[in-house]
Structure 1
Amino acid sequence: MTETVTGLELRNAVGSFPTGVTVVTTHSEGMDIGLTVSAFASLSLEPAMVVVCIESKSKSLPHLAVGREIGISVLASEQLELAVQFARHVEDRFDGVEIERRGKVGVPFIKGAVAWFLGVVDSWYEGGDHTIVTVAIQECHSDYEKSPIKYLRGSIISDSSL
């Protein structure tokens, strides 16, 4: 008989792996859409692709449809308040946020981010209670002089604590 792992056990174990924090954005139906995502990774170098995983019940997910142009901003260590702001369930997550627009539809990007990626949603895959979204990258940029937010065991960590 196989024992199953509880969600709490998995969260605690996976939380031992430090991740960065991103804000995934698009411009859809005349609105800017954005949400905080820590499940982000490189998928392929040739062709250039990344993957983000988003809770399937997210109200933002339908705006990230296949073929849609989206952005991913990797937040800098001093942008913690933006990570929290884009994780909240509020009407306008962009309120007071400095953005830069890129791409054909004017996708909003977080100004001052460590890195950014502009791409087109390639496909969706079911993954338990999340949707795996693959993104074909068209443009990207990084600023090596800035440090990204690092998330570990439910907390933000500094470079000195690694």
Structure 2
Amino acid sequence: MTETVTGLELRTAVGSFPSGVTVVTTHSEGMDIGLTVSAFASLSLEPAMVVVCIEKKSKSLPHLAVGREIGISVLASDQLELAVQFARHVEDRFEGVEIERRGEIGVPFISGAVAWFLGVVDSWYEGGDHTIVTVSVVRCGLSKKRPLMYLSGILSR
């Protein structure tokens, strides 16, 4: 097969499928690290694992090394501004953000999230312009809030 789709065609088609919005976090080199990620999914129930896909050029990616404790906060519908804040290229993405710390290294989690997952990075895999990061889940929690959704390139409540 010699045909190929363009990035725009793929983004448009994949964008027709709604996804949640997460903030992936860790504590590394004495600072909190966090970024907005919409490529998040359950990977395995036994053992408990999830997967996130991070753009290779992300400055946060090296802080998510194999063996590192990380957190994933699934944002609630009232946290649209946080999705934007953690997607920006600013010095301190956590400025003004209410967090809760969990785990051995004090991983920051977004307060008021729909769900949260504390885990350890298990593996990295090549995935085109992204790195596929598998995470072994150690603990997780859930609220009754509605999730923030990403659909057709738009964040919606």
- Alignment pair present for 1:149 and 2:152: no
Q: Please name the residue that 1:21 is paired with.
A: 21
Q: Specify every segment of 5 or more residues in structure 1 that has no aligned partner in the other structure, as ranges.
A: none
Q: Specify every segment of 5 or more residues in structure 2 that has no aligned partner in the other structure, as ranges.
A: none
Q: CA deviation at 1:4?
A: 1.2
Q: Please name the residue that 2:61 is paired with.
A: 61
Residue identity over aligned pairs, in percent, reads: 85
| 2:5 match: secondary structure | coil
Q: CA RMSD in A?
A: 0.8
Q: CA deviation at 1:155?
A: 1.1
Distance, in Å, in 1 between the alignment partners of 2:9 and 2:153 is 13
Distance, in Å, in 1 between the alignment partners of 2:155 and 2:93 is 21
Distance, in Å, in 1 between the alignment partners of 2:114 and 2:35 is 17
Aligned residues: 157
TM-score (norm. length: structure 2): 0.98
Pairing of 1:84-103 with structure 2 (within 5 A): 84-103=84-103
Q: CA deviation at 1:139?
A: 0.1
CA offset digits 1:20-44 (Å, max 9, x no partner):
0000000000000000000000000
| 2:123 match: secondary structure | strand
Q: Please name the residue that 1:81 is paired with.
A: 81
After TM superposition, which residue ranges in structure 1, 4 or more long, deviate above 3 angstroms? none
Q: Please name the residue that 2:123 is paired with.
A: 123
Q: CA deviation at 1:133?
A: 0.1
Distance, in Å, in 1 between the alignment partners of 2:151 and 2:81 is 17
Distance, in Å, in 2 between the alignment partners of 1:28 and 1:142 is 25
| 2:91 match: secondary structure | coil
Q: CA deviation at 1:17?
A: 0.5
Letter in 1 for 2:42: S
Q: CA deviation at 1:2?
A: 1.6
Pairing of 1:30-69 with structure 2 (within 5 A): 30-69=30-69
Distance, in Å, in 2 between the alignment partners of 1:99 and 1:108 is 6
